[in-house]
């Protein structure tokens, strides 16, 4: 599911594609079979916000402060999946920061266990 508002961003195509690809592949990897991954793009006070949500277990509260550290792998890993290297989210953070933005892992409203990722980038529209 994708929802979009028209915005203009100045981005390096390769780096922004890699960042979004990492977030989306994680969302797919951690979602249950036949789960839904949502990508919502919105504008808010000079920024473009991209929220990536899925139906997986989310990032464990103890892991949230560390998920952007290189080689960090959280406690919640999908069963029977190839174990990742732990560098994907650190790359996302590096590339988003290079574009003047930020990336966060946030708690899903009303659900203390689940979380989602939010990217905020400068809107030049």
Tokens 């980038």 map to which residue?
Answer: 121
Cα-based distances in Å from 26 to 4, 44, 48? 21, 25, 21
Q: 58: which DSSP letter?
A: -
Question: Which ranges in the chain belong to alpha helices (H)?
Answer: 13-30, 88-98
Report yes or no: 70 and 57 within 8 Å, Cβ to Cβ. no
Q: What pTM, to 2 d.p., does this model score?
A: 0.86
- In the predicted model, what is the mean pLDDT of residues 72-92? 76
DSSP-assigned beta bridge partners for residue 38: 53
- In the predicted model, what is the mean pLDDT of residues 36-65? 88
What pLDDT score does 81 carry?
60
Give pLDDT tens digits for 1-47: 556 667 778 899 999 999 999 999 989 888 888 989 999 888 888 89
Give pLDDT tens digits for 1-11: 556 667 778 89
Half-sphere exposure of 12 (CA within 13 A, CB side): 13
Helices 88-98/13-30 angle, 10° precision: 140
| Cα separation, 104 vs 92, whole angstroms | 10
| Cα separation, 55 vs 36, whole angstroms | 6
What pLDDT score does 32 carry?
86
């Amino acid at each position: 599911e994708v929802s979009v508002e028209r915005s203009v961003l100045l981005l390096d195509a390769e780096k922004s594609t890699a960042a979004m690809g990492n977030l989306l592949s994680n969302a797919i990897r951690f979602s249950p079979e036949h789960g839904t991954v949502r990508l919502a793009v919105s504008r808010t006070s000079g920024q473009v916000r991209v929220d990536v949500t899925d139906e997986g277990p989310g990032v464990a509260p103890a892991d949230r402060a560390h998920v952007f550290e290189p080689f960090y792998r959280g406690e919640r890993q999908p069963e029977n999946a190839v174990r990742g290297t732990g560098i994907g989210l650190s790359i996302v953070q590096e590339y988003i920061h290079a574009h003047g933005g930020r990336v966060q892992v946030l708690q899903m409203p009303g659900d203390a266990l689940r979380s989602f990722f939010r990217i905020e980038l400068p809107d030049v529209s």
